[in-house]
Structure 1
Amino acid sequence: MNSQRYGRLFYLSSLNINYSQKQQQQQRFIRMNNCCRHTITLDNINDNVKRLEYAVRGPLVIRAGVIENELKQQQQSSSSSSSSSNNQRLFNEVIRANIGDCHAMGQRPLTFLRQVLACSSDDSLLTSQHYPNDVKERTRLMLKYCGGQSVGAYSDSAGVEIIRKHCAEYVSHRDGIESEWRDIVLTTGASEGIRSILALINTCSTDSLPSGVMIPIPQYPLYSATITEYGMYPINYYLDEDNQWSLNIDELKRSLNEAKVKCKPKAIVVINPGNPTGSVLTKKNIEDIIRFAKENKILIIADEVYQHNIYDGEFFSFKKILHELNEDIELASVMSASKGFMGECGLRGGYCELVNFDPSVKAMFFKMLSARLCSSILGQIALDCIVKPPDVDGESYERYHQEKSDVLAALKYRAKLVADTFNTIPGIKSNKVAGAMYAFPQIDIPKKAKEKATELGQAADFFYAMNLLETTGICVVPGSGFGQIPGTYHFRTTILPQNEKLEAMMKKFKQFHLNFMEQYS
């Protein structure tokens, strides 16, 4: 499957655009007129940007925003006798299950983290009796390492030194092996770390093959979008849905061998726990992947941002298994404060650890990062509170531990609820949600529904998801936005709505699906 071409078709069909000859002529006329007024036009901007797609914030989400505004107007006019019942929707809110935004779905922030951020932003609070002593101690330590003892100062490009050291301690404790803090870079969320690594290895030029990056299908659209933006080549490998979305080494070999004539393979991306699949890789699977990367001399990019979200199985870091195998291949591992039990998406804190990198290459990486000055200091401090939680004997420990346990217990309950519910519905099957915060069920779409979707110029799973949104207010992402085996259909939903809301959401979804199947059977 040509993923770039399919992604383009998905985007166009999602907008329900029928490119007739007349419409094309009209658009050419508009562009010609625009050329008279604008220097920068669609005809002379970066083609890679025009090809770039990002499904989790795509047309369905735009439509969800429109519906939210309609609902607000509906609520405002509900007392008016002139309002028409024909325009009234049968639901009163949009449930945004399309994106892993924990706090937007009602998750409460961690008290310790927010208190440290508050005191760091306003150091006059350090004299307040309303804040625990360990919060004040952490704040003073953070400010000590900030220029002018202020979060408004730049840090080193790689991040605040003490926070990098705390990240190294976290990794050392997690894996039982020493971690060097100078190998760790603090980033604006895990996304920036991933984009920076891809930029480092990108040697694409007009007179040679592009750099290739192996990405799982289904995958998190950050990878396909960034690869497209950078002019790199996506080497798609399919995850084994029949075996809990595991990685099949024969499939890795197939995809790599087929791609070698089209690109220079540079890296393999592995998302564990999985997004959008909710899978957790076994130790044996990770060992096989490492040996495969070693044999083919490619970098491993380990997206491990959901390492705290384990509901079934056990998390093994790539670094730990790499050490056990005594292999010295390069590994870039990323972690974030956005997911897990913390959910601080908007603060944009993350780290990237470089393992077994040539010192001269690492120096070039650091030089490249210097152009961005530094990541957000508040994001760095938020990450510090995750990698170095309150000490057992600290005032904040009990509350922090309880809040963390409550969030993870709730997520575990929802993970089972979602998968179990999907598997009771005819025409839907779901693997267990073993980790992360998503389910990616497969759906059988009736022939009549596929025909209707084709008539509208839409992908079948987009048609299904749009019907779900318009009928129930539930916003999910079609599987075609993540990639899937041709002929299969899926969607991704988060498990983030709070328990009561998620239970109601699943009941609404089940009724919708049964009605949809009846309508188009």
Structure 2
Amino acid sequence: MYLLHSLEGVFLYSLRSGSIEPIGKSRLAVELISQLSKDCFRLRFCVADLVRVVSKKTLFRWFSAKQCALPTPKMTENGLGHREKVLNMNTMNPNVKRVEYAVRGPIVQRAVQIEKELKEGVKKPFSEVIKANIGDAHAMGQKPITFFRQVVALCAYPDLLEDNKFPDDAKNRARRILQSCGGGSLGAYSASTGIEVIRQDVARYIEKRDGGIPSNPDNIYLSTGASDAIVTMLKLLTSGEGKTRSGVMISIPQYPLYSAALAELAAVQISYYLDEDKCWGLDVSELRRAVEAAREHCKPRALCIINPGNPTGQVQSRQCIEDVIRFAAEERLFLMADEVYQDNVYAEGCQFHSFKKVLFEMGPEYSNTVELASFHSTSKCYMGECGFRGGYMEVINMDPQVKLQLTKLVSVRLCPPIPGQVLLDLVVNPPRPDEPSYATFIKERTANLEILAEKAKLTEQIFNTVSGIRCNPVQGAMYTFPRLTLPEKAIAAAKEKGQAPDMFYCMKLLEETGICLVPGSGFGQRDGTHHFRMTILPATEKLKIVLENIRAFHKRFTEEFS
């Protein structure tokens, strides 16, 4: 029998018969458990929830004589009785358990362990771990833009405004920003949508980028990186149950933020495949196939496009963008344009076209009706300021009532980080030609983009010399996504380990070379194909070493499993 304690009293529970018999009310419960705590088990009242007893007679005999004839319960290390956690794998949000994010998955976790082992003196066939798994420019050695850091420093420590080491344009910019901050300090909250003058600067930047097409600051929402804004929009878009659940179309391969967010929100992922044989091109016929198939089990509501592409590095043509907009209009889909790599275009003949610009140039039939949210960030392009977590979202043709709900939703998180907002302002409003910092800014910006273009070409060339690796041109963004041809024995060995073949390949690569990549299976890919994603951000000389080591490893791997 068991003694059960609850707020309503004390009860005896018979395991054999399943009966429950009350033996006391709340006061008796307190007295009984307190007595047990003091004289017998030394348990705290709050954890004495379950005590086994021999019988009801034994219980009352003990209680009257203040003697314990009861078996000692299971004790924890701190001397307290065992109690099941309130939050456990059975009670936690089941949607969270479905979330996967390969960019920081098992291989990256193993890479961190290996780094610790190297520091502890464990012998490895390499001296360092090279994390080519993520687009973190500064972690790979890229230097920050001088003007950006000067203004941020001045804003963070205004006493530096008296220092003659800083140029006048940086000081003027810092004063303007600080005047817009509460109390003249970066430590104050801003409006939930962001600092007003920065939103105005973002709107002017968009107008200039798009050839004069108007941008309204009221449609601009500053965010904690682009990721925060993307997830916020997905929250607005997801609703329903069963076959009425919202479906969101995402490309395969895709950036895992999208699949992870949809899993957390219990929305339906509608996958459409990019065409690897056409440099990861997007074909509207594939969009139609995907949306028709999805209607059987959800309500398609949104279409997400990443341009330039992550992880695939393609740049969409203007014609492709027009076709996508027409498709979205026909199918009444909300368009989400992830454009965080808009300055990262390298291939000859390729050009970035913003979805907003193309939408408005297609005329009122589309510009007045198609709903669009576009996203940009401080983390990519030539600046690579990932840690500042700055970004923005512009919404077009959004229902006014929904827009109020969007503002309410972002208000829950108070505001984006103020230093990130400052950095974003500098990205959209850099030094002008008549200002003292302009020459240095242009030199640094141009150098960063030219180096990335050289590394994109280098990566493609070296990978395509390796038998069993095929690499499309890296037209833009910061990654390559080459296709692997793996021996059947390697695929079988991976299956025995319960791993995807490219996961098996990348883990073995990490253990033997210290190079950390992300398997293509973490981004999605057509059945029977295998890939990995690698950033092109390492310094040129280190990138050459990485590419040569991958080439040598691939040869060894193929020979081992042939």
TM norm structure 1 = 0.90
The equivalent of 1:46 in structure 2 is: 93
Partner Cα distance (1:153, 1:370) in 2: 15
Alignment of 1:37 with 2:79, yes or no, is no
Partner residue of 2:493 out of 440, 443, 452: 452
Letter of the aligned partner of 2:229 in structure 1?
G
Letter of the aligned partner of 1:305 in structure 2?
Answer: V
The answer as to whether partners of 2:180 and 2:197 remain within 8 angstroms in 1 is: yes
Measure how far apart 1:35 and its partner are.
Answer: 8.6
1:251-278 CA-to-partner distances (Å, cap 9, x unmatched) read 1011100001211111000000000000
Which is worse superposed, 99-108 or 363-372?
A: 363-372
Letter of the 1:461 partner, please give it.
D
Deviation of residue 36 (structure 1)? 2.8
User: Separation in 1 of the partners of 2:149 and 2:302?
Assistant: 37
Q: Which of 467, 485, 492 matches 1:426?
A: 467
Q: Using the alignment, how far apart are the partners of 1:456 and 1:353 within structure 2?
A: 46
Is structure 2 residue 513 aligned with structure 1 residue 472? yes
What corresponds to 2:359 in structure 1? 322
2:224 corresponds in structure 1 to: 188
Q: Secondary structure at the match of 1:151?
A: coil
Q: Which residue of the partner structure matches residue 400 of structure 1?
A: 441
Total equivalences in the alignment: 477
CA displacement 1:397-422 (0-9 Å, x = unmatched): 11111111111011001000111111
Q: Does 1:286 pair with 2:327? A: no
Aligned to 1:390: 431
Which amino acid counterpart does residue 352 of structure 1 have in structure 2? Answer: M
Cα distance in structure 2, aligned partners of 1:307 and 1:445? 34
Matched-pair contact (CA < 8 Å) for 1:100–1:494: yes
Work out the CA distance in 2 between the residues paired with 1:355 and 1:452: 50
**What SS does structure 2 have at the residue aligned with 1:126?**
helix
Alpha-carbon distance in 2 for matches of 1:382, 1:512: 41
Opposite residue 237 of structure 2, the aligned amino acid is I
Q: Which runs of 5+ in 1 are unaligned?
A: 1-33, 75-86
Aligned counterparts of 1:361 and 1:410: Cα–Cα separation in 2: 43
- In structure 2, the partner of 1:518 is 559
Cα distance in 2 for residues equivalent to 1:454 and 1:362: 48
Q: Equivalent of 1:179, from 205, 208, 215?
A: 215
Q: Equivalent residue for 1:347? A: 388
Shift of 1:208: 5.6
C-alpha distance in structure 2 between counterparts of 1:275 and 1:407, whole Å: 19
Give aligned-pair identity as a percent: 51
Alignment pair present for 1:501 and 2:542:
yes
Contact 1:227/1:234 (8 A) holds in 2: yes
8 Å contact from structure 2 (residues 193, 221) kept in 1: yes
Is 2:243–2:297's contact at 8 Å kept on the other side of the alignment? no
Rounded Cα–Cα distance in structure 1 between residues aligned with 2:82 and 2:393: 43
SS at match of 2:384: coil
Aligned to 2:393, what secondary structure does the other structure show? strand
Structure number with the bigger relative contact order (C-alpha 8 A, sep ≥ 6) is: 1
Report the alpha carbon displacement of residue 362 of structure 1 after superposing the two structures with TM.
Answer: 1.3
Task: Give yes or no for the alignment of 1:95 onto 2:95.
Answer: no
Q: Which whole-Å CA distance do the structure 2 matches of 1:35 and 1:510 have between them?
A: 54
Which of 195, 201, 206 is equivalent to 1:166? 201
Question: What is aligned with 2:104?
Answer: 57
- Within a 5 Å distance, the mapping from 1:92-491 to structure 2 comes to 92-176=127-211, 177-205=213-241, 209-312=244-347, 313-326=350-363, 327=366, 328-491=369-532
Question: SS where residue 216 of structure 1 aligns?
Answer: strand
- What's the counterpart of residue 18 of structure 1? none
Conserved? CA contact 2:480–2:535, under 8 Å: yes
- For the residue of structure 2 that corresponds to 1:37, the secondary structure is coil
> Within 2, Cα distance between the matches of 1:379 and 1:190?
11
Say which SS state the counterpart of residue 490 (structure 1) adopts. strand
Residues of 1 paired with 2:398 and 2:85: CA distance? 45
Separation (CA, whole Å) in 1 of partners of 2:281 and 2:488? 30
Structure 1 ranges of 4+ moved more than 2 A: 34-37
CA RMSD in angstroms, aligned pairs only: 1.4
Give deviations 1:86-128, integer Å, cap 9, x for gaps.
x621210111000111111111111111111111011000010
- 1:35/1:41 contact within 8 Å kept: no
**Whole-angstrom CA distance in 1 between matches of 2:216 and 2:123:** 60
Secondary structure of the residue aligned to 2:249 is: strand
Query: Residues 26-57 of structure 1, C-alpha deviation per residue, up to 9 Å, x if partnerless?
Result: xxxxxxxx993311110010110001000000
Classify the secondary structure of the residue corresponding to 2:472.
Answer: coil
Q: Which has the higher helix share?
A: 1
Q: Secondary structure at the match of 1:342?
A: coil
How far the C-alpha of 1:209 sits from its partner, in A, is 2.4
CA distance in structure 1 between the aligned counterparts of 2:286 and 2:256, rounded to whole angstroms: 21
Q: How far off its partner does 1:464 sit?
A: 0.3
Moved more, 349-358 or 362-371: 362-371
| Residues 159-208 of structure 1: CA deviation (Å, up to 9, x unaligned) | 00000000001100000111111100000000011001001111134x66
Counterpart of 2:167, as a letter, is P
**Counterpart secondary structure, 1:391:** coil
Q: Matches of 2:315 and 2:254 in 1, distance apart?
A: 14
Instruction: Give the distance between the partners of 1:37 and 1:114, measured in 2 at CA.
Output: 50
CA contact (8 A) 2:154 2:161 kept: yes
**SS of structure 1 residue aligned to 2:244:** coil
Which shifted more, 196-205 or 274-283? Answer: 196-205
* In 2: Cα distance, 1:105 partner to 1:146 partner: 33
Cα contact 1:204–1:231 (8 A) shared by 2: no
Cα 1:503/1:258, change in 2 over 3 Å: same
| Post-superposition CA distance 1:290-333 (Å, at most 9, x none) | 00000000011000000000001100000011011121300000
